Structure 1
Amino acid sequence: MGRPEHWLNRQRLIAYSRIVLALILLAIVVLCFRAKGLVDPNGKPLGYDFITFWAASRMALDGDPQHAYNVARLFQAEQAAVPGIRAMYAWFYPPSFYLLILPLALLPYLVAYFAFLLTTLAAYVAVFRRIAQSREALWCLAGFCGAWVNILHGQNAFLTSALAAAALLCLERRPVLSGIFIGLLAIKPHLALLFPVALLATGAWTTFLVAGAVALLLTAAGTAVLGAATLSAFLGSLPVAQAALEAGALPWIKMPTVFAMLRLWHVPVSAAWVAQAVAASAAAIAVWIVWRRTRVLALRASVLMTATFLVSPYAYDYDLAGLAFPIAWIVADGIRRGWLRGEREVLLAAWFLPLLMAPLAATASIQAGPIVLVGMLCLVLRRATLLRKTTVGAEAVCTSGKPAPALPSR
């Protein structure tokens, strides 16, 4: 008798994606209907975080880029973009990213928002389609909560995750281009912390050196264009960002990190930092193990992009738009090699995570981000371990004549 079909089948995948997509679009319509003058009832601008990009650009074009790191001065520029806002947003980005958003204020706020989002979304979708091109995959991406959280915030996760995924796709055959993509992540360097671990694990020295050179050149270019005072102001803003993170001024409910999870439970700051360091070390070890154990791109890429969110204490729900790529890689590997028990349920939890994480943390003080991300890492580690055993078994066929073992489907 054949094994029964798994409950998470093709029909349900498409149905769930369409339902979530419809609900999100309905929520956006309601939000826009309730907004007045691009400001929602809570005093936040439509596009949320994007207003800092536009305001910093405005200040730089006016000749005061270093003052964007002053919250009061930045708020004045934000009010010029969207009069009537009451919420204040800070700017903690390095000159490398500042250089990227420099032209935005040449356009009106709303036009700049759509230009930025659509451009980066195009890159995001293009890279995703290199991994998965099926109809089901595209429906899953259309309904993926992480993508819509990034859109509503007007954030840069489409760009940063597309750069990381593109670097991984190019690594084997185009190491120089891969290094360029990694180096460009200097716009948000804490999302590139694990690339050196992976590159050192495999001896990818060309990519490693190119990435370092591009990162240094991009930082130098940003400093040259915006001035040394801007670099100094950025470095001076880092202790402010740390203090805000420790105190909860940066909302823990929206941060899928071990530090935020423990602070939400009122764990002392020092203990939360120790736990974050342990989690970061474990994530780096997981990347090293998988990259040393297997050459399968799907597993290597998935462990790196997932572990990234466990390394840095500073990450947000919109950054989880990048989970679309490890989910797609794992699904592709599951279809190719077979599924293990519980894997599809973990992937479904990761797919819903960006939408449900903040409400769950707000109502029950449970930060599910690290829990789901650790589940993803365990999934990849298990597949890599079993694949290694399968490979050893396949080599034994040469002498024993017995069929090579396969991953045990569930």
Structure 2
Amino acid sequence: MDWLRRADWLTRERVRGYALLLAFASLALLANSYLKAMGPAGTDFLAFWGAGQLTAEGAPAAAYDLAAQERVQTGTGSEGWFAFVNPPPFLFIAAPFGMLPFALAWIAWVAVTWGLWAWASIRAFPRLWPLVIAYPGALLAAGHAQTGLLTGAMLVLAAQHLARRPILSGAAIGALVIKPHLALLAPFWFAAAGKWRAFCAAGVTALMLGAASWFVFGSETIAGYTTSWRASGLLMEGINPDFLLRMTTFYSQGRLLWGDGAGLAAGAVSGLLGVAVALGAWRRFGGDARATGAAVLAATALASPYLFNYDLPFLIFPTLWLVVQGLERGFRPYEKLGLILLYLAPYATRALAFPLGVNLMPLAALALLALVWSRGGKSDRPVS
């Protein structure tokens, strides 16, 4: 069984070839997603585009008005429409896309956000660029035209630049005020190593973006945002398998399978595990900022109770960090095959969630974290 244990047949040349084939196949899947998004069922991006259009028209507070959003979104021919629940600083991003026709705005959003994510990820792993452009987790986010590529770019920037450019790293985390539950571990991560410039830059950036949105969009918009919490709350009421199977957390799957109490317990344990990783990673990896970044980003997929498969493009960083470790220090038994499965996991677990009746992504995230963590604390030998 050496062909599984060692997987020597999985050479760099073959991996590059497989990745490029996967990237080309992904274009067809993305085109199909676009055609569906233009159909009557609609797409998540309608909420961002509708908010952007209302903001561009000078009515940013209406972005949180359900009746106004329904009017604007169904005006595209879509029968479905979606509440906008992102904080007001997101309106700075949405407004330029709201000025475009919906069909063009979808393409522009995907191109710009994927481009930012790919740029940040390729800068972090230049030799592994084929694995970046073919990453299935990014394809899923692009197909939904969701925010995962944008937030993923910020998290990758933070992990890559903390050692040498801590202010940039902190600013990238602060910009996650547009989706703050993705930055839950950052304060613990920065504080544990005394990275106070990054810590302060994150706080200042978040406060400045909040203040700027208040100044530009007005108090009515801030008040409108607070009303959107009700829409978010309604989504979480009851046991809705259709909704919970799209989520990728131990909280959601525990709640789906065993009820509210089990979900809360599972969410609390996974959240505390994430905090423990953020606090302990510096000692585990001897102060290596990139290694701690890989651990913290892997743990980020476990820390928040509210996360979806399309939020996970940031997992490219811990996944490719492990690939680099294998190339430089030797792959351990079965590690190559494990990395293939984890590379495919964000897309595969979403595709299998409804047939299986459970979303397995929390287990994949836990396995990814375990692999990253196991690379610290000792010197690994190449597979013999």
Fold shared per TM-score above 0.5: yes
In structure 2, what is the equivalent of residue 361 of structure 1?
353
Q: Deviations over 1:233-273 (max 9, x none)?
A: 222322431331243387222211112212332x2223312
In structure 2, what is the equivalent of residue 381 of structure 1?
373
How big is the shift at 1:378? 0.7
2:83 corresponds to 1:79: no
Q: Distance in 2 between the 1:159 and 1:21 partners?
A: 19
| Partners of 1:163 and 1:184 within 8 A in 2 | yes
How big is the shift at 1:179? 1.9
In structure 2, what is the equivalent of residue 400 of structure 1?
none
In structure 2, what is the equivalent of residue 53 of structure 1?
48
Pick one of 10, 16, 37 that aligns with 2:18: 16
How big is the shift at 1:206? 1.4
Equivalent residue letter for 1:75: E
In structure 1, what is the equivalent of residue 383 of structure 2?
409
Equivalent residue letter for 1:145: P
Q: Distance in 2 between the 1:357 and 1:246 partners?
A: 24
Q: Distance in 1 between the 2:225 and 2:242 partners?
A: 17
Equivalent residue letter for 1:21: A
| Partners of 1:202 and 1:292 within 8 A in 2 | no
Q: 1:142 to 1:228 in 2, by over 3 A?
A: same
Q: Distance in 2 between the 1:300 and 1:105 partners?
A: 38
Q: 1:202 to 1:252 in 2, by over 3 A?
A: same
| Partners of 1:346 and 1:372 within 8 A in 2 | no
Q: Distance in 1 between the 2:325 and 2:66 partners?
A: 46
Q: Deviations over 1:4-35 (max 9, x none)?
A: 65343334423432443344333344566x65
Q: 1:284 to 1:7 in 2, by over 3 A?
A: farther
Q: Distance in 2 between the 1:359 and 1:178 partners?
A: 33
SS at 2:312 equivalent: helix
2:98 corresponds to 1:96: no
In structure 2, what is the equivalent of residue 158 of structure 1?
149
Bigger relative CO (Cα 8 Å, ≥ 6 apart): 2
Which region of structure 1 is more displaced relative to structure 2, 335-344 or 300-309?
Answer: 335-344
In structure 2, what is the equivalent of residue 133 of structure 1?
126
Which region of structure 1 is more displaced relative to structure 2, 70-79 or 246-255?
Answer: 246-255
| Partners of 1:18 and 1:139 within 8 A in 2 | yes
| Partners of 1:54 and 1:104 within 8 A in 2 | yes
SS at 1:384 equivalent: coil
Runs of 5+ in structure 2 lacking a partner?
none
1:389-408 to 2 correspondences below 5 Å: 390=379, 406-407=380-381
Matched residue count: 378
Q: Deviations over 1:304-341 (max 9, x none)?
A: 11111211121111111222222122211221222223
How big is the shift at 1:74? 1.0
How big is the shift at 1:372? 0.3
2:52 corresponds to 1:67: no
Q: Percent identity among equivalent residues? A: 29
In structure 2, what is the equivalent of residue 44 of structure 1?
41
Pick one of 192, 217, 221 that aligns with 1:230: 221
SS at 1:409 equivalent: coil
RMSD: 2.3
Q: 1:238 to 1:29 in 2, by over 3 A?
A: closer
Q: 1:17 to 1:246 in 2, by over 3 A?
A: farther
1:1-400 to 2 correspondences below 5 Å: 6-30=8-32, 39-40=38-39, 43-45=40-42, 48-80=43-75, 82-83=76-77, 85-134=78-127, 137-247=128-238, 248=240, 251-265=243-257, 267-294=258-285, 295-386=287-378, 390=379
Q: Distance in 2 between the 1:260 and 1:17 partners?
A: 32
SS at 1:231 equivalent: helix
Q: Distance in 2 between the 1:30 and 1:130 partners?
A: 29
Q: Deviations over 1:66-121 (max 9, x none)?
A: 232233331211123x22x1222121100111222122222222222233322222
What TM-score do the two structures reach when normalised by structure 2? 0.90
| Partners of 1:350 and 1:372 within 8 A in 2 | yes
| Partners of 2:54 and 2:60 within 8 A in 1 | yes
| Partners of 1:286 and 1:377 within 8 A in 2 | no
How big is the shift at 1:214? 1.0
Q: Report which of the two structures shows the higher radius of gyration computed on alpha carbons.
A: 1
Q: Deviations over 1:119-143 (max 9, x none)?
A: 2222222211222222xx2222232
Q: 1:4 to 1:173 in 2, by over 3 A?
A: closer
Equivalent residue letter for 1:260: S
Q: Distance in 2 between the 1:367 and 1:276 partners?
A: 15
| Partners of 1:197 and 1:288 within 8 A in 2 | yes
Equivalent residue letter for 2:265: V
SS at 1:323 equivalent: helix
| Partners of 2:141 and 2:313 within 8 A in 1 | yes
